[in-house]
Amino acid sequence: MLSPVNSIIKNAIGDIIYRGNVVTGIVATDNGNGSYDCYISESDVAYPKIFTLSRNPNLEVGDKVRILYKGGNKELPIILPPIAPSVLTLFENQPIKSFSYPSINLSTYYLGQHFTVESNHSVSRIDISLEKGGETQTGTAILDLYIADENGYPTGGILATADIDTSLLNWWSGEGDSTWIELTLDTSVDLVSGNEMVIVLRFPTASTTKEVIWAQSVSFSNLILSGRGIYSEDSGSTWAKRRIIITGGVTYWADFTFKIYGR
């Protein structure tokens, strides 16, 4: 049974955000005509056919929305346009580009980069410097975020993920720098200072004619003795550190480009 709207407004602890006339709701049904049925506060039954002020509504079932009662009138509910997200902050990053560009050209070959969280913050976007191997290439590559174990290898389940439409990447012709791409994660993850995390890149439909190329974060004048780049040749079952080069009897290890954005 539906509770009176005015009692929901009165009792919606923590949800009132505008003079007692705005509450939060959860989309229950998209009616296909610009209106949505919504659960308001903690109501058990969805209120029907609430329209939105957004010019191009693109809400999905489960989305949280702000519902305004014009003048406090329970007969006049309207879904407000979403609040623009606050500006993201750049946190951990590895921005220097490379003289070599390792590629993923097998479906079972994964690349990864682990990093130490420098402060308590969230992550909702990860940028990497990436290009495709063929001018007409298609297919979806995937970036995943994991917790790292004591070796810097992925452990546990995927915390967040982002799909990469490789047809939209720039084609790498073998010269010059690759291009930074912005990848919004499917969920924001809270990171704790001092914890070790891993970014993993995979391409399930990769082949010798379909590949993605992730720029390393070194140059000839800036080789790294203790890089944190890793790789797997068996779809992530086992991992090893990725070597750049052995020269003069010294082994240099890889680092891959990344930028962590959050709040």
**Burial class for 193, CB neighbours closer than 10 Å (0-12, 13-18, 19+):** exposed
Could you tell me if 252 and 81 are in contact, meaning their C-beta atoms sit under 8 angstroms apart? no
At 48, give phi and psi (nearest 5°): -85, 150
- Portions of the chain given CATH number 2.40.50: 5-79
Q: What would the two tokens of residue 236 be?
A: 């992530």
Residue 73 to residue 227: CA distance in whole angstroms:
62
- Portions of the chain given CATH number 2.60.120: 89-262
Per residue in 195-233, pLDDT tens? 999 999 999 999 988 999 998 877 655 666 668 999 999
- Per-residue H/E/C for 181-249: EEEEEEEEEEECCCCEEEEEEECCCCECCECEEECECCCHHHCCCCCCEEEECCCCCCCEECEEEEECC
When the pLDDT of each residue in the chain is averaged and rounded to a whole number, the result is 82
Q: For residue 39, name the pLDDT band (cuts at 50, 70, 90).
A: confident
Per residue in 64-119, pLDDT tens? 888 887 665 667 788 877 665 568 899 999 887 766 678 899 999 999 999 999 99
The reported pLDDT for the residue numbered 114 is: 95
Could you tell me if 142 and 107 are in contact, meaning their C-beta atoms sit under 8 angstroms apart? no
End-to-end Cα separation, the chain, in angstroms: 40
Q: For residue 7, name the pLDDT band (cuts at 50, 70, 90).
A: very low
Per residue in 159-202, pLDDT tens? 999 999 998 888 876 655 568 899 999 999 999 999 999 999 99
Higher pLDDT, 130 or 12: 130
Could you tell me if 199 and 145 are in contact, meaning their C-beta atoms sit under 8 angstroms apart? yes
User: Which whole number is the average pLDDT over 21-49?
Assistant: 84
Share of the chain above pLDDT 90, in %: 44
CATH number of 89-262: 2.60.120
How many C-beta neighbours within 10 Å does residue 249 have? 5
Confidence (pTM) = 0.67
The reported pLDDT for the residue numbered 9 is: 39
CATH number of 5-79: 2.40.50
